[in-house]
Structure 1
């Protein structure tokens, strides 16, 4: 769990800010308080959307149900509204699958990589994460924790490069939001795949703005 959930695991997550760059440029995020609010929205979005998919993918992978995994992947991709959100999910998903196939060597991961290469699936990150953890006999809750922690840490790491804020402040926010993960998991575990939703209009607008930004440090 620590190895595959580590923030510097080489799947390219450091290249993205989850629209924080636009939020800082437009004055939506200006200090620790507004950064916390922005990050909270992002982790709530993740729990209601990708988090449900991670759990569903974990269950499908545990059962060896490739058709279910293909369906889940399509549902995840369809809910990514911005080009950059789709790019982030697909790029990280393929790299995560590649790393898993090479490090773990599981047949299901190799088959999933073949599906990605053949354009049978897009290969979204939540599906790759759920599959990887199921194959390692790690729990769906552990996969969910990695998703939530990764979402928050990606934004907070980007904040250190985008605004005037200290490591202590970002770690305080991360510690605070991590305490919400257990309740979020319980809710996501009871939800059906069709319940996936990520309603957060301002976040989606900021993501769209970033696509046309003249100066960009991050890919999202």
Structure 2
């Protein structure tokens, strides 16, 4: 039940406010139908697995052995790999809201310490690290934490697609189903990697996120 609650795509931490570059992709014609949408979302989730996903697993394991310095390193690693302002804003805004919610709902001391460090400016407070701490507090499995993160990203983007383009909700659900089926393979691919192995190459997504910051017409936040 805790997995369902904290893995809910409607968890009120602000993910509904961002499109992860999808709005610009649609405006620029890169995404224009279900096939191009699926390719775009799949690219985002695969890049997430090899960056945020690795840091999430590292932070989760660090929380299990009560190693705050290791958690902070994972947090900084996520933040420093966000190449543009919009992605940095998204991850720290959602991370902080998740921490505040966890402190109030779970009375989670580890998350409370992390939130205090965020407020002191000692660590940025990224969303995947927040998820790791919440799931470690709940004594759930690291596979579940990783799966929730990947699902949340795909769900966020596909939810945005329903508001941004002409697409049947059935097509969106079919895309989500197929991408969810790849999460186990993504976990196996990165489970043994370290923070030094975090890497991504998605220049089109990076450029689109930068374009979105200066867009004159926007439905989603930058």
TM-score (structure 2 length as normaliser): 0.98
Alignment deviations for residues 29-69 of structure 1 (CA, whole Å, 9 cap, x no partner): 00000000000001001101100011001000001100111
For 1:190, what is the secondary structure of its paired residue? Answer: coil
Mapped to 2, the partners of 1:187 and 1:102 lie a distance apart of 35
Gaps of at least 5 residues in structure 2 are none
Mapped to 1, the partners of 2:211 and 2:7 lie a distance apart of 29
Match of 2:80 in 1: 78
Deviation at 1:198, TM superposition (A): 2.0
Alignment deviations for residues 129-174 of structure 1 (CA, whole Å, 9 cap, x no partner): 1111011111111010011101100110000000000110000000
Report if aligned partners of 2:50, 2:199 keep a CA contact under 8 Å in 1. yes
Report if aligned partners of 2:56, 2:74 keep a CA contact under 8 Å in 1. no
**Does 2:133 correspond to 1:131?**
yes
Gaps of at least 5 residues in structure 1 are none
Mapped to 1, the partners of 2:167 and 2:109 lie a distance apart of 45
Q: Identify which of 54, 57, 80 aligns with 2:56.
A: 54
For 1:119, what is the secondary structure of its paired residue? Answer: coil
Deviation at 1:211, TM superposition (A): 0.9
For 2:191, what is the secondary structure of its paired residue? Answer: helix
Mapped to 2, the partners of 1:194 and 1:140 lie a distance apart of 19
Mapped to 1, the partners of 2:96 and 2:44 lie a distance apart of 22
Match of 1:9 in 2: 11
Flag as ranges the 4+ runs of structure 1 deviating above 6 A. Answer: none
Mapped to 2, the partners of 1:25 and 1:106 lie a distance apart of 42
Match of 1:157 in 2: 159
Residue-pair matches, total: 220
Deviation at 1:6, TM superposition (A): 0.5
TM-score (structure 1 length as normaliser): 0.99
